[in-house]
């Protein structure tokens, strides 16, 4: 490949950009503020700031250009196909952004008198209603801030329920080996020990192995469904019965709810609690890593332990309950204020736009797209399981055997072709996993082009072009980065 | 010269008299990849066989080092703390983790010798 | 449907390629008993106009802060956000990107996080900060867990000046752990004795500065006592703009600093999402929860950024991870960072002075209200007031609202079982308040009291 050397170091639209700390110059400002009235600093408890913060001074045009240039070094869903399995990278509707910015919703303080925020409470209440109807569950805790936070919330409700029944001795949680790492981590935060249960050849939980591990000291099973291999747990009802049979609860990790919205009623599967990632299933922006939102539905047995706050209908309108109420035993509070309200607005806008018919169609299209990719790739890329899959298709690195190319190399080559890679090396239950989740947002044309590219790369891999793969990506603002250096000699902040 | 004895968790111990030197096997360092961080036990710490004694981390993996023998730690290897890459370069020599005074040398009997460990590794492939 | 590109003919062709006659066949693993064969009895899809109308109607039922003299704080603060912040947030490459797991195509997010970490470390006076947590409350809970890991002790002392939501969140987080918490009673006057409680079993003392009721304290002596006892000092900052005017927690000896970052860049949004800031000393970095961006080089030797020290996290350590947290608050961190960049060091200091001056002016004007006493000796932009022994602050706030004035938060909303706090009202002033706002608050207070 020939490189054009430039004087600036920039290459067309690939522009080098320093840190803000390397651009600042005292005497500039990007904000004009009125001059404060001179005040004595004797009201500051004897500890006024001494010395400068060290923050750089920039003007507005410099700041705007800086962030614009940085944004151009990012790949987003708006940029192109982003088949990151398990992460559900679907289109983020712009109407959701528009309504979330209405001053009547955005410029509200959480502690205003409740009579002045009835519309905001209606947003929460309406969204809660949809989540309950879509799952068939009687209650939902709206406040968890993300999926992992919702897992913890569900487990806290389980622990509280067992303690209340005098069964606090239940301390074991069973988790399939294919689970997200958050599952065991959340269990540990509730004082539970974690045991892994194996999968069968077909990628589903081994029911006999599960039964062998169940006992009177088991608090719950945590099961992702559809599971992290993109498969529906076909024996789920028998699993739920076995779990309930020993007095344990069934926690479902709802990370993959987007595959089955409007097609499966969660309550009918025997699930006691499940978190819902609004940022996945209901298309709120991932924003480079958050904010998420993880409302957690609860069965009748667990509902009394739901954390505060929550919204109820009362004589005077909607009421935000912030403390214990007769007949309930909330296990506590999981975060400040009332949940990720800004995310609620966006999720509800998506839900109202799609409606019950659209949500069902979205699940169907997501599953159809994944099965189409599976069908069109499985003769050249080794599929871990036979179809049908749900919303994502799992492949492994058997097709790369003897090529000297790893899953990582293959993924990096996709970057040069203009795609964000699939999820790699997760789930851990297959070797060199490649997990592809197309979502319902992609057209057949996009999928066909992607299929052609993957087939082309697979053909190249077979003919032994390892060096080309090892050198990828070549066309990005930065090429492969040295993660060992970063971890051995951590530089975690700018220093003068 | 003492012979190394190995555990199924890929630790080794090499004993002279009642003093043992403990490390992780070359197989283990290779499986971990570039080691970026280690934590070794302080002198004086009393360890039971199988207890968590040290930590070794690569970019994508973290693992505990379990003591292959019971005893009292004499010293940790500061060199690998300062330069974790030494574990990759020389896992079974300069990349040792800690020295320990054995409290029950009979424990060694249950550990594998080199030949047994090599055949154990074959079963993992 | 506007978000779904597949046509009926696409679907038929794709089903044929798969070898299925109907999409229902793809759901064959779902037990028949749980299958929904028809859409649920919920509304059908709607166009943009209809949905926007629904939200405009709900928004119209609220009294938004911009339409009233507004003096509410207590953990969420109304500040002016430069117009550029929101415009930049809406760039799709920021908005619609995932966690930067593929660093070659995420250098934008990673550099932002590195700059964000640097900014947070700078304003808190600490060595290192992470890429953010959910909010101030959860960050405080994580700080307690971290302090217990570091000290290998199981007792935390929680100041009565801590925001009640943070207290409740910490207590909830500790509920099924081995850790116990000494929770001090609410402390509107700032008289509590923390120093006398620290002993060799203490893992950490958690204190908020400025406190929930507004008071500011010199944390130096407390830090010294903590360190003598082998305990850590955790400092919570609910209003980060205060750091432009008050000595940083790091300079006062804090070991862990947590903060709610909402004040910068984000707006109030009815209390969520928030932005948890988390900073500590270099020596504790491996016990820190949450994501970290770090500097490195690419194969061509160019400087770049990656996520690093990931072995602390749940996707590698599973049940032994420092936390179960998987996300950060990426977009909120970006908003915070852009706002702080636009302020710069000079603007950050000036904004803080302005806020303090506003609160001083509010105190002056409140002197006209008979029976009202400002409680804390010191404050930044917020203070608790006592309205008189027989006065119920919650009723006052409701009457003010009826007059179109959003006049603070009654302490009883958080402390319903503390009758002595019934007359206490917490008021905040920021740069967004005008003189006229303050006059209207004072006039309305005079009328309802």
The pLDDT value recorded for residue A457 is: 97
Share of chain A above pLDDT 90, in %: 90
pLDDT score recorded for residue C258: 98
Tokens in use for C177? Answer: 């752990």
Residues C323, C363: one domain? Answer: no
Q: From residue C161, how far is each of B22, B39, C428 by CA, in Å?
A: 50, 38, 16
**Looking at residue C187, which CATH number applies to its domain?**
3.40.640.10
Radius of gyration of chain A (CA): 26
User: C401 and C326 share a domain?
Assistant: no
Last residue of a domain, one of C294, C312, C339: C339
- Closest chain C residue to A317 measured between Cα atoms? C61
- Which B-chain residues 34-73 have CB contacts (< 8 A) with chain C? 37, 57-62
The minimum CA-CA distance between A462 and chain C, rounded to whole Å, is: 25
Q: Average of pLDDT values for A393-420?
A: 96
Name every chain B residue with its beta carbon within 8 A of the beta carbon of C317.
62
Q: What is the 3-state secondary structure (H, E, C) of chain C?
A: CCCCCCCHHHHHHHHHHHCCCCHHHHHCCCCHHHECCCCCCCCCCCCHHHHHHHHHHHHHCECCHHHCCECCCCCCCCCCCCHHHHHHHCCHHHHCCCCCCCHHHEHHHHHHHHHHHHHHHHHHCCCEECCCECCHHHHHHHHHHHHHHHHCCCEEEECCCCCHHHHHHHHHHHCCCCCEEEECCCCCCCCCCCHHHCCCCEEEEEEECCCCCCCCCCCHHHHHHHHHCCCEEEEEECCHHHHHCECCCCCCCCCEEEEECCCCCCCCHHHCCCCEEEEECHHHHHHCCCCCEEEEEECCCCEEEEECCHHHCHHHHHHHCCCCCCCCCHHHHHHHHHHHHHHHHHHHHHHHHHHHHHHHHHHHHHCCCCCCEECCCCCCCEEEEECCCCCCHHHHHHHHHHCCCECCEEHHHCCCCCHHHCCEEEEECCCCCCHHHHHHHHHHHHHHC
The residue of A184, A426, A487 whose CB has the most chain B CBs within 10 angstroms, and thus the best one to mutate to test that interface, is A487
Residues C367 and C324 in one domain: no
Mean of the pLDDT values across residues C84-112? Answer: 97
Quote the CA–CA distance of A63 and A19 in Å, as a whole number: 11
Q: Which of C316, C320, C321, C322 to mutate to test the interface with B (most CBs of B within 10 A)?
A: C316
Interatomic CA distance for residues A263 and A356, integer angstroms: 10
Chain A hits for C317, CB-CB cut-off 8 Å, are 181, 185
DSSP classification of residue A299: -
Q: What is the dotted CATH code of the domain comprising B4-104? A: 2.40.50.100
How large is the average pLDDT for residues C318-338? 89
Residues C229 and C88 in one domain: yes
Give B34's contacts in chain A (Cβ within 8 Å): 484, 488
C189 touches chain A (CB under 8 A): no
Q: Can you give the pLDDT at residue C325? A: 84
| C70 and C168 housed in the same domain | no
Predicted confidence (pLDDT) at residue A324 exceeds the cutoff of 90? no
The confidence score (pLDDT) of residue B1 equals 40
Query: What is the spatial distance between Cα C162 and Cα A111, in angstroms, rounded to a whole number?
Result: 17
Look up the domain containing C372 and give its range. Answer: 65-80+345-448
A377 three-class SS: helix
Higher pLDDT, B3 or A470: A470
Binned at pLDDT 50, 70 and 90, residue C317 comes out as confident
Write out pLDDT tens, residues A132-149.
999 999 999 999 999 999
Co-location of C298 and C389 in the same domain: no
Residue A273 corresponds to which tokens in the numbers above?
A: 């609690």
Confidence of residue A462 (pLDDT cuts 50, 70, 90): very high
Q: What is the pLDDT of residue A35?
A: 92
Q: How far apart are CA A469 and CA C440, in angstroms?
A: 69
Contact at CB, C65 and A47, closer than 8 angstroms: no
pLDDT at residue C125, rounded to an integer: 97
pLDDT by residue (tens digit) across C219-248?
A: 999 999 999 999 999 999 999 999 999 999
The predicted structure's pLDDT at residue B125: 73
Q: Which residue bears the tokens 């035993």?
A: A329
Q: What is the pLDDT of residue C189?
A: 87
Alpha-carbon span C311 to A411, nearest angstrom: 22
- Tell whether C427 lies on the interface with A, counting CB pairs under 8 A: no
Split at pLDDT 50, 70, 90, the class of B3 is: confident
- The reported pTM is 0.96
Both C369 and C385 in one domain: the answer is yes
Name the pLDDT band for A152 (thresholds 50, 70, 90).
very high
Half-sphere exposure of C24 (CA within 13 A, CB side): 7
Least confident range of A38-52, C25-39, C126-140, C239-253 = A38-52
B11-46 pLDDT, tens digit per residue, is: 999 999 999 999 999 999 999 999 999 999 999 999
Return d(Cα C440, Cα C449) in angstroms, integer: 14
* pLDDT for position A303: 97
Contact A264 C34 (CB under 8 A): yes
pLDDT digits (tens, 9 = 90+) for A76-103: 999 999 999 999 999 999 999 999 999 9
- Report chain B residues whose CB lies below 8 A from the CB of C311: 37, 57-62
State residue A2's pLDDT score: 46
Chain A residue with CA closest to B34: the answer is A484
Does residue C407 form part of some domain? yes
Q: Are residues C317 and C355 in the same domain?
A: no
The matching CATH number, chosen from 3.40.50.1000, 3.90.1150.10, 3.40.50.1220, 3.20.20.370, for A356-485 is: 3.90.1150.10
Q: Mean of the per-residue pLDDT values for chain A? A: 95
Q: Which of C339, C355, C383 is the last residue of a domain?
A: C339
Q: Are residues C132 and C248 in the same domain?
A: yes
pLDDT of A4: 63
pLDDT digits (tens, 9 = 90+) for A362-372: 999 999 999 99
CA quadruple A279, A284, A290, A294: dihedral positive or negative?
negative
Q: What whole-number distance in Å separates Cα of residue A248 and Cα of residue A269?
A: 15
- Phi and psi angles of residue A245, each rounded to the nearest 5 degrees, phi first: -60, -25
Q: Report pLDDT for A3.
A: 58
pLDDT, position C124:
98
Give B54 to chain A, closest Cα distance, Å: 17
Residue C109 pLDDT > 60: yes
CB contact under 8 A, A84 and C98: yes
- Residue among C328, B84, C289, C298 nearest A188 (CA): C289
Chain A residues whose CB is inside 8 A of the C117 CB are 492-493
Q: CA-to-CA distance for C190 and C209, rounded, in angstroms? A: 11
Q: Where in chain A is the domain with CATH 3.40.640.10?
A: 96-351
Nearest to C45 among A358, A442, A490 (CB): A358
Q: What residues in B contact A484, CB-CB < 8 Å?
A: 34, 36, 58-59
Indicate if the pLDDT at residue A27 is higher than 60. yes
- Answer yes or no: is C56 within a domain: no
Instruction: Select the residue from A234, A481, A484, A491 to test the C interface by mutation, using most C Cβ atoms within 10 A.
Output: A481
Chains touching C (3+ CB pairs < 8 Å):
A, B
Residue B60 confidence (pLDDT): 83
Minimal-distance CA residue of chain B relative to C317? B62
Q: Looking at residues A205-216, what average pLDDT do you find?
A: 96
pLDDT tens-digit profile of C254-276? 999 999 999 999 999 999 999 99
Tokens 């958080």 belong to residue: C414
Q: Does residue B2 surpass a pLDDT of 60?
A: no
| Interface pTM, i.e. ipTM | 0.97
Is A495 within 8 Å of chain B by CB? no
pLDDT band with cut points at 50, 70 and 90 for residue B59: confident
CB contact A321 to C (< 8 Å): no
Clarify whether residues C333 and C350 are in a common domain: no
CATH number of residue C428's parent domain: 3.90.1150.10
The model's confidence at residue C311, banded by pLDDT at 50, 70 and 90, is confident
Q: Smallest Cα–Cα separation from A122: which of A313, A294, A336, A308?
A: A313
- In angstroms, the CA C252 to CA C220 distance is 5
**With an 8 Å Cβ cutoff, are C401 and A108 in contact?**
no
Among B37, B59, B62, beta carbon nearest to C317: B62
Residue A317: both structure tokens together: 């309108």
Kindly state whether residues C350 and C322 are assigned to the same domain: no
In tens, the pLDDT along A101-125 reads: 999 999 999 999 999 999 999 999 9
Q: State how many domains chain C has.
A: 2
From CA A280, how far away is CA A224, in angstroms rounded? 15
**Which residues in chain B are contacts of A483 at CB distance < 8 A?**
59
Closest Cα in chain C, distance from residue B118 (Å): 28
pLDDT at C322: 80
Question: Is residue A486 less than 8 Å (CB to CB) from chain C?
Answer: yes
Report the pLDDT averaged over residues C79-87: 98
User: Given this model, what pLDDT does residue A1 score?
Assistant: 44
Interface probe with A: pick from B59, B60, B124, B125, most Cβ of A within 10 Å: B59
Residue range A174-188: mean pLDDT, rounded: 90
Both C303 and C419 in a single domain?
no
Q: Please, what CATH class does the domain formed by A96-351 belong to?
A: alpha beta
How many CB contacts within 8 angstroms connect chain A with chain C? 712
Tokens linked to C13: 């062709």
C138 within 8 A of A335, measured Cβ to Cβ: yes
Per-residue pLDDT band for C335 (boundaries 50, 70, 90) equals very high
Q: Where does a domain end: C319, C339, C359?
A: C339
Sort out which chain A residues have CB atoms less than 8 A from B36's CB and list them.
484, 487-488
pLDDT of residue C321: 81
A478-495: pLDDT as tens digits: 999 999 999 999 999 999
Residue C190 has a pLDDT of 82
């Amino acid at each position: 490949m020939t490189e054009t050397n430039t004087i600036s170091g920039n290459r067309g639209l690939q522009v080098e950009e320093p840190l803000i700390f390397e651009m600042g110059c005292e005497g500039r400002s990007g904000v004009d503020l009125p001059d404060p009235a001179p005040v004595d600093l004797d009201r500051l408890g004897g500890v006024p700031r001494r010395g400068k913060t060290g923050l750089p001074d920039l003007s507005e045009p410099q700041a705007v250009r800086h962030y614009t240039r940085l944004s151009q070094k990012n790949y987003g869903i708006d940029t192109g196909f982003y088949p990151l399995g398990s992460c559900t990278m679907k289109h983020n509707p712009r109407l959701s952004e528009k309504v979330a910015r209405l001053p009547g919703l955005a410029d509200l303080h959480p502690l205003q008198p409740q009579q002045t925020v009835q519309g905001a409470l209606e947003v929460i209440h309406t969204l809660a209603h949809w989540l309950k109807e879509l799952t068939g569950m009687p209650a939902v805790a709206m406040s968890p801030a993300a999926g992992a936070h919702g897992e913890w919330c569900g487990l806290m409700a389980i622990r509280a329920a067992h303690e209340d029944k005098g069964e606090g001795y239940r301390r074991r949680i069973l988790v399939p080996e294919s689970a997200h790492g958050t599952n065991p981590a959340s269990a540990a935060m509730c004082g539970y020990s974690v045991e892994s249960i194996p999968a069968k050849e077909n990628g589903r939980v081994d029911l006999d192995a599960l039964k062998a591990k169940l006992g009177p000291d088991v608090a719950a099973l945590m099961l992702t469904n559809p599971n992290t291999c993109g498969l529906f747990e076909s024996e789920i009802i028998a699993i739920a019965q076995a779990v309930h049979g020993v007095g344990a609860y069934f926690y479902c990790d709802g990370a993959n709810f987007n595959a089955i919205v409007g097609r499966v009623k969660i309550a009918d599967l025997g699930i006691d609690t499940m978190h819902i990632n609004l940022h996945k299933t209901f298309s709120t922006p991932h924003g480079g890593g958050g904010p998420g939102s993880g409302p957690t539905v609860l069965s009748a047995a667990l509902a009394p332990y739901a954390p505060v706050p929550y919204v109820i209908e009362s004589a005077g309108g909607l009421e935000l309950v912030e403390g214990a109420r007769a007949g309930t035993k909330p296990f506590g509070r999981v975060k400040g204020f009332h949940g990720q309200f800004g995310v609620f607005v966006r999720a509800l806008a998506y839900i109202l736009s799609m409606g019950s018919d659209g949500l069902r169609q979205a699940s169907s299209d997501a599953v159809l797209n994944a099965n189409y990719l599976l069908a069109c790739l499985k003769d050249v890329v080794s599929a871990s399981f036979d179809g049908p899959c749900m919303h994502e298709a799992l492949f492994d690195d058997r097709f790369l055997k003897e090529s000297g190319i790893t899953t990582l190399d293959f993924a990096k080559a996709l970057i040069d072709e203009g795609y964000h890679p699939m999820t790699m090396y997760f789930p851990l239950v297959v070797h060199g996993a490649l997990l592809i989740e197309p979502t319902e947002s992609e057209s057949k044309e996009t999928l066909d082009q992607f299929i052609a590219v993957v087939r082309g790369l697979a053909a190249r891999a077979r003919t032994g072009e390892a060096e080309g793969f090892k050198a990828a990506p070549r066309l990005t603002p930065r090429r492969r980065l040295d993660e060992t250096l970063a971890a051995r000699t951590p530089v975690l902040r700018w220093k003068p | 010269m003492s012979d190394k004895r190995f555990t199924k968790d890929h630790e080794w111990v090499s004993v002279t008299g009642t003093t043992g030197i403990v490390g992780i096997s070359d197989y283990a360092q290779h499986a971990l990849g570039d080691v970026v961080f280690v934590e070794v036990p302080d002198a004086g710490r009393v360890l039971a066989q199988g207890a968590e004694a040290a930590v070794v981390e690569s970019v994508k993996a973290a693992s505990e080092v379990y003591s292959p023998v019971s005893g009292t730690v004499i010293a940790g290897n500061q060199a690998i703390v300062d330069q974790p890459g030494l574990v990759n370069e020389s896992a079974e020599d300069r990349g040792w983790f800690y020295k320990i005074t054995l409290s029950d040398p009979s424990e060694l009997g249950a550990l594998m010798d080199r030949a047994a460990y090599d055949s154990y590794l074959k079963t993992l492939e | 449907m506007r978000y779904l590109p597949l046509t009926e003919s696409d679907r038929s062709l794709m089903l044929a390629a798969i070898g299925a006659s109907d999409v229902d066949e793809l759901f064959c693993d779902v037990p028949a008993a749980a299958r929904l064969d028809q859409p649920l009895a919920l509304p059908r899809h709607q166009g943009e106009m209809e949905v926007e109308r629904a939200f405009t109607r709900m928004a119209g039922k609220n009294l938004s802060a911009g339409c009233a003299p507004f003096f509410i704080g207590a953990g969420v603060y109304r500040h002016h956000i430069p117009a550029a912040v929101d415009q930049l947030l809406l760039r799709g490459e920021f908005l619609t990107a995932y966690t930067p797991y593929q660093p070659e195509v995420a250098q934008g997010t990673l550099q932002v996080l590195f700059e964000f970490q640097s900014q947070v470390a700078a304003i808190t006076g600490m060595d290192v900060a992470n890429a953010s947590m959910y909010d101030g409350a959860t960050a405080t809970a994580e700080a307690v867990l971290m302090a217990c890991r570091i000290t290998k002790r199981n007792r935390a002392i929680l100041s009565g000046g801590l925001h009640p939501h943070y207290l409740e969140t910490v207590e909830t987080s500790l509920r099924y752990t081995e850790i116990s918490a000494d929770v001090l009673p609410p402390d509107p006057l700032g008289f509590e004795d923390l120093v006398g409680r620290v002993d060799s079993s203490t893992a950490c003392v958690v204190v908020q500065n400025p406190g929930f009721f507004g008071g500011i304290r010199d944390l130096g002596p407390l830090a010294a006592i903590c360190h003598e006892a082998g305990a850590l000092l955790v400092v919570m900052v609910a209003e980060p703009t205060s750091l432009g005017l008050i000595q940083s927690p790091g300079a006062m000896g804090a070991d862990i600093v947590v903060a709610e970052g909402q004040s910068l860049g984000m707006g109030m949004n009815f209390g969520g999402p928030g932005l948890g800031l988390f900073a500590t000393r270099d020596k504790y970095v491996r016990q820190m929860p949450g994501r970290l961006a770090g500097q490195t080089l690419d194969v061509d030797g160019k400087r770049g950024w990656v996520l690093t020290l990931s072995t602390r996290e749940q996707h590698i350590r599973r049940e032994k991870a420092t936390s179960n947290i998987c996300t950060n608050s990426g977009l909120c961190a970006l908003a915070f960072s852009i706002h702080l960049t636009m302020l710069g060091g000079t603007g950050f200091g000036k904004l803080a002075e302005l806020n303090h001056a506003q609160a001083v002016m509010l105190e002056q004007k409140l002197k006209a209200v008979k029976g009202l006493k400002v409680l804390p000796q010191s404050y930044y932009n917020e203070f608790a007031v006592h309205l008189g022994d027989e006065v119920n602050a919650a009723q006052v706030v409701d009457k003010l609202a009826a007059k179109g004035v959003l006049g603070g938060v009654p302490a009883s909303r958080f402390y319903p079982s503390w009758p002595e706090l019934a007359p206490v009202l917490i008021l905040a002033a920021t740069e967004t308040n005008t003189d006229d706002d303050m006059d209207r608050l004072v006039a309305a207070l005079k009328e309802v009291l």
